[in-house]
């Protein structure tokens, strides 16, 4: 019974005259999701690029290594 309620709550049926608004809303959501992924990938690459030379010094390694790790995690989040 609970599975039936969970399925019916995720599938929403809209009146036929609302479909243009629903389509635009879904398109905007898709674009924002894609933009967020692209931004995560770009930020991850930038953090890796700044983290690698920064970690070449002993004092800079304190900031460079976490920056590289955060960049890799952002890249993974952007791709998957």
Residue 41 in domain:
yes
- In percent, the amount of the chain with pLDDT more than 70 equals 86
| Residue 24 DSSP one-character state | H
Range of the domain at 54: 35-80
Residue 4 in domain:
no
3 pLDDT above the threshold of 80 = no
Residue 11 in domain:
no
Q: How many domains does the chain have?
A: 1
**64 alpha carbon, distance to own chain's centre:** 23
Residue 62 in domain:
yes
Predicted structure pTM score = 0.70
CA gap 44, 73 in Å, rounded: 7
Residue 46 in domain:
yes
Q: And the tokens for 79?
A: 């791709």
Q: And the tokens for 76?
A: 């993974």
Per-residue pLDDT of 53-66, as tens digits, reads: 999 988 888 999 99
Residue 77 in domain:
yes
CA gap 45, 76 in Å, rounded: 11
CA distances from 14 to 8, 23, 30 (A): 13, 11, 19
């Amino acid at each position: 019974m609970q599975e039936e309620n969970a399925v019916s709550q995720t599938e929403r049926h809209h009146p036929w005259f609302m479909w243009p608004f629903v389509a635009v809303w879904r398109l905007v959501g898709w674009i924002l999701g894609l933009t967020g992924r692209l931004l995560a990938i770009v930020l991850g690459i930038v953090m890796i690029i700044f983290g690698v030379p920064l970690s070449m010094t002993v004092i800079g390694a304190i900031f460079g290594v976490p920056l590289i790790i955060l960049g890799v995690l952002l890249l993974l989040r952007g791709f998957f």
